[in-house]
Structure 1
Amino acid sequence: MNATPAASAPATPVVPAANAGYALFILTLINLVNYLDRYIVAAALPDIQKEFGINDTQSGLLGTVFIVVFMLASPLGGFLGDRMPRKLLVAGGVLLWSLATGASGLATSFIALLVARAVIGIGEAGYGAVAPSIISDLYPRNLRTRVLAFFYIAIPVGSALGYVLGDWIKPWNNAFFVGAVPGLLLGTMAFFMPEPKRGAMDGPDATVKLPFLVGLKGLGRNSAFWATTAGYTLMTFSIGGLGFWMPTYLVRERQLWLESPGKVGFVFGAITAAAGLAGTLAGGWLGDKLDRRREGGGLWMSGVGLLLAAPCMYLAVNIQSPEATFAAIAVAQFLIFLNSGPINAAIVNCVPTAFRAFAMGLNVLFIHMLGDAISPTLIGTIADAASLHTAIELNAIPVLLGGLALMVGAKLFREAVPRAR
């Protein structure tokens, strides 16, 4: 099960499906709101800590509980996504998490806020596992890295908007109310998306159904999938913790703009948006170009990007100049976001079409279970024991190891997936 049936008998590239642009646009906007809702809490964290009197370890749980629920529910979302209309899962998931985001603003205790964040994870699991499989059935393989990169530009932009909303809108409760509105609108619009036939862009043989146990056994032997997932997991561990704690670090330990802490969220958010947008678009373009030269070329580029990002992350917390610090952060984020399109394209291309949603759900489980489900709390614990500077400094190590894993994954991908014509 190392390759799709279509990969064994490559077909002539075809044009995107009808209404593909509408579906991609809606799914991308939903992904933007997805990350906006995730990162409002990171920017509003200092105010939340004051209101509920919680320490750094407890604060890290706000990130961890969401991720734990999200990752555990994602394989179920993927399983359902291979067997029922996916647009219904998308629409229902978006509406659920948007209502839970609004409920976060109503929380009157730390426990109530934790519960609301957990429900957001359930809603996002219904969407995150199936959206890439919908896109892969709307666009031919020769365009997938590019269109998936477009889909994933929502990550830096949505994260940046989350930082800005969490910083600027006071009191912090109101930021969650504002964040809930676009999701309710987009969830309704998702009901009107096209529902493409599974494997429609991978040739006639790709539409054959695959028994679940047969697919699961094949996935267990798919070394390209697992190496890619390992690299993705290491990267997610690092950037998940960094994204949650960096605004607090810049104010508390670097003492940047103490008289106006909201400025930190704005600057960090702007850098995340600009560097992430540029990196994601560049990664999509370069990934398609390198994939045309050799299978796994885009995945190899992702590995190189992480290897170069690691020293930039280390320098970001060891340079005294604020300008140089933000420059190092920008370069690191550009290099990390290069991989958004290539990694996810590699995952959907190296598994059978009838098993893509579950494979994406399983990937989500691992990258979060061993990644950002534990990193916010672990960083908070290290910060309580030593310092937040030390905790963030150590974050460069998983990025370095992730780059090595992706380069191994690129080699395995070339061996497993015959070259597309």
Structure 2
Amino acid sequence: MASPGKPKKTVGQQVSLRYAWYALFILFMVNFINYVDRMAINTAMETLKRYFEINDTKLGLIASSFTLVYALISLPMGYLSDRGVRTRIIAAGAFIWSLATTASGFMTRYWPFFITRAAVGAGEGIYAPSGNALIVDYFPKRLRNTAVAIFMSAMILGGAVAFIVAGLILQKTEHFKMDRIDALVVNRKHQPIDGWEFEKSTEIKNPATGKRMAAYHFTNGAGQSMTVGLQRHDDKKTDQQKAAIGMRGSSLLFDIYALHDKEVLTGDLNPAAKELTAAVIERVRNHEGDPIGENRYHMPHISAKFKVPAELKHKLWYDEKTREIVFRGIMTKKEKKIVQELGEGEHYTKIVGFMYSDTNYYYIRSDNWKWIFWILGPPGLIIALFAFFLKEPIKGGGDGLSHEQASKVEQKKTDYSLIFKTPTVMLLMLSNILATYCVGGLVIWLFPYVERYKGMESAEASMKVGPFVIVAALAGVIVSGILADKLQKKTLKGNNILLVIAILCGTPFMYLFFFSNSYWIMVGSISMTMFFLSWLNGPLNALLMTLVEPQLRATLNAIHILLIHVLGDALSPLIIGYISDQKSLGYALLITPVFLVLGMIGFGVAAITVEKDIKACEARMKAAGIVDDGSMPGGH
């Protein structure tokens, strides 16, 4: 027990600048894995919808549950972080969310999965308030913007890497529903096909394309063996390319190959093998749509322009009695475009997307999303160990406090009302609620939007778009850190100016992405959107930390997290999902950038009070004995 009148020794120790950079690397990795585990689910949204057979409202609720729990846990953890050992708190949070992420892959029903994702949010909520506060205490003020920008860049990098890795995992772990393809290729009685007896069916890797195929092994009375393989149809190859890799024929859903001893046969086949291959191709072409049957979609009112062309009359019609659009069998990409032009309105567009998805995934399993969590969850357990052994810096160490000064500050009664009495803080948080509503909703629903409106599967989109987004976002983080440090030296309004420019430049590119159907324009516009929006986090969080004293920073961070998530991206996925169910996903997303623009206005208004509030904070710190000369105690 401390003796009367003697300040209790503060938790933490002085650290060198070299150690501060090491700590930043560990914290960067924690934040990186945090966002990998958080964002990886986005690529699998459509797969999850098919697996759990849920609507968009329930799909959005998964994301909202994570964010809501994350935000609610952050508030008490902010209070504890201002009083405890933050490095240990961060380690505990990383351990819990990594364990919950891994467990998510074992859930087979919607509500248990919902609970594990909420548990991921709890773990990340334990960690979140301490991150920025630690960075500020590790680094002197002259390096604060750069350090925070680097730390926050892990959010952008982690999210982008999550998209790519999750997409790659979905591609590599995709499997067929073999029982359905078995019924298509081989009848239930296993009767011979042109003298060939069916032996077994397996899934193998096509040696010619590297993609998975359903392989059917046959033998005949002459002692010959033969394999016919079915691979998902690829309509991007030319006839010459198909012949070069040994493709023997195609149906609407499958490309068909002849193999022997796991090698694709590219030359002429012997008569018996040729007959078998032809028979399988004919059977698949004639019957692959039979088990799919009719799919019906409620459509209360149909457009007067809904005139079905002759080539689709046997597949598409409108049932006046039930007020449903009916589609029979398989819808091709070409048919999707034709059907799309027959109607109008967002609801009709959504129905056409469902028609295409429901038929094209009939033979594909939708449980490969589990591998995303099994692979990405465990690494966080390792980085949690490194975080556990980090040195705890003195609270206020980055502002020049010694042990004695920090102890005196901690003995004083903390006035939490200063957070709410600082106009700039309140304006920045309100503005970021609006910005987070938009950005959070867009990130969650981006891949479902691409799959439904841009004709590109989520896994494919993540691989094709992800690398460009990573480069653009990292470039944005670097540029924002440099600009923020330079502008802040010239004017205390520098960070506000940067926030306004970011949204002013990023919003037009967002709308360009929505309205473009050109691949390169889509890639360019979403990359430029991410380049500018990646400017927001570093300057914003650095500015917030500068506006309050060291003993308030983790609490402020927790309040900020609570507000932007509970009122921002905890609501937007659910609201967007609900609007999507009522109208369409396209309509729901088109109105979200309005909130981003409102946030921009708020960031601009905050520039009016920022100079006064920063100087007021500096005066309070000076009165408390905090010397902020930009130096780093104990190191260079």
TM-score range, shorter chain: over 0.9
2: CA distance between counterparts of 1:65 and 1:208? 41
SS of alignment partner, residue 391 of structure 2: coil
Q: Which amino acid is the alignment partner of residue 70 of structure 1?
A: Y
Q: CA deviation at 1:131?
A: 0.9
Q: What residue number does 1:321 align with?
A: 518
Alpha-carbon distance between aligned partners in 2 of 1:143 and 1:207, rounded to the nearest angstrom: 24
Q: Which residue of structure 2 aligns with residue 155 of structure 1?
A: 155
Structure in which a larger fraction of residues adopt helix: 1
- Is 1:243 matched up with 2:429? no
Is 1:185 the equivalent of 2:416? no
Q: Are the aligned partners of 2:394 and 2:406 in contact in 1 as well (CA < 8 Å)?
A: no
For the 8 Å contact 1:304–1:407, the answer to whether it is kept is: no
Matched, 1:308 2:505: yes
SS of structure 1 residue aligned to 2:139: coil
Match of 1:390 among 587, 590, 593: 587
Conservation of the 8 A alpha-carbon contact between 2:87 and 2:387? yes
Q: Report the CA distance between 1:168 and its aligned residue.
A: 2.2
- Whether the 8 Å contact between 1:16 and 1:140 is mirrored in structure 2 is no
How far off its partner does 1:319 sit? Answer: 2.2
SS in 2 for 1:107: coil
TM-superposition CA deviations, 1:57-83 (whole Å, max 9, x none): 100011100000000010111100000
User: How far apart are residue 329 of structure 1 and its match?
Assistant: 1.2
5+ residue gaps, structure 2: 1-13, 174-367, 619-627, 630-636
Larger Rg: 2
Deviation >6 Å, runs of 4+: none
Residue equivalent to 1:134: 134
The CA deviation at 1:320 is 3.0
Q: Are 2:411 and 1:201 aligned? A: no
Q: Which has the higher strand share?
A: 2
Q: Output the amino acid matched with 1:172.
A: W
Mapping 1:14-413, distance limit 5 Å: 17=17, 19-169=19-169, 170=173, 171-204=368-401, 208-209=408-409, 214-256=414-456, 258=457, 261-413=458-610
Partner SS state of residue 93, structure 1: helix
Q: Distance in 2 between matches of 1:378 and 1:416?
A: 35
How many Å apart are 1:279 and its aligned residue?
A: 0.8
Alpha-carbon distance in structure 1 between the residues aligned to 2:488 and 2:155: 23
Q: Which residue is 2:340 aligned to? A: none
Shifted more, 23-32 versus 312-321: the winner is: 312-321
RMSD between aligned residues? 1.9
Compared with structure 1, are the counterparts of its residues 207 and 275 closer, same or farther at alpha carbon in structure 2 (3 Å cutoff)? farther
Task: Give the stretch that moved more between structures: 179-188 or 315-324.
Answer: 315-324
- Give 1:210 deviation, angstroms: 5.7
Aligned residue in 2 for 1:11: none
Separation in 1, partners of 2:408, 2:543: 21
Q: What amino acid does structure 2 have at the position aligned with 1:244?
A: I
The answer as to whether partners of 2:74 and 2:558 remain within 8 angstroms in 1 is yes
Q: Offset at 1:167?
A: 2.0
User: Which shifted more, 98-107 or 269-278?
Assistant: 269-278
Q: Closer, same or farther in 2 for the Cα pair 1:280/1:16, shift >3 Å?
A: farther
How far has the Cα of 1:347 moved from its partner?
Answer: 0.7
CA deviation map 1:255-293 (0-9, x unaligned):
13x5xx421122332233122111111111100110011
Secondary structure of residue in 2 paired with 1:268: helix
Kindly provide the CA deviation profile for residues 112-150 of structure 1, in whole angstroms up to 9, marking residues without a partner as x.
Answer: 111101111111112111011111001011111111111
Structure 1 distance, partners of 2:412, 2:463, is 46
Q: 1:370 & 1:348 partners in 2: Cα distance?
A: 21
Cα deviation, residue 214, structure 1: 4.6
Q: Which moved more, 1:210-219 or 1:49-58?
A: 210-219
Letter in 2 for 1:396: P
Number of residue pairs the alignment of both structures matches: 405
The residue that corresponds to 1:5 in the other structure is none
Shift of 1:410: 2.6
Task: Write the letter of the residue equivalent to 2:31.
Answer: N
Deviates more, 1:205-214 or 1:191-200: 205-214
| In structure 2, distance between residues paired with 1:44 and 1:209 | 48
**Distance of 1:234 and 1:318 partners within structure 2:** 23
**Kindly tell me: are residues 211 and 231 of structure 1, through their superposed partners in 2, closer, same or farther at Cα, counting changes over 3 Å?**
farther
Give the whole-Å Cα distance in 2 for the aligned partners of 1:68 and 1:413.
30
Whole-Å Cα distance in 1 between the matches of residues 20 and 394 of structure 2?
12
Measure, in 2, the Cα distance between the counterparts of 1:120 and 1:212.
36
1:375-404 residue CA offsets vs partner (Å, 9 max, x unmatched) = 111111111111111111112111111111
Higher mean displacement: 303-312 or 105-114: 303-312
Name the CA distance, whole Å, in 2 between partners of 1:218 and 1:252.
Answer: 48
CA–CA distance in 1 between the matches of 2:108 and 2:601? Answer: 45
2:292 corresponding residue in structure 1: none
Partner SS for 1:106: coil
Give yes or no for contact 1:42–1:245 (8 Å, CA) kept in 2. yes
**CA displacement 1:279-329 (0-9 Å, x = unmatched):** 111111100110011113022211221122222212211123222122111
CA contact (8 A) 1:87 1:191 kept: yes
Q: More relative contact order in 1 or in 2 (CA 8 Å, sep 6+)?
A: 1
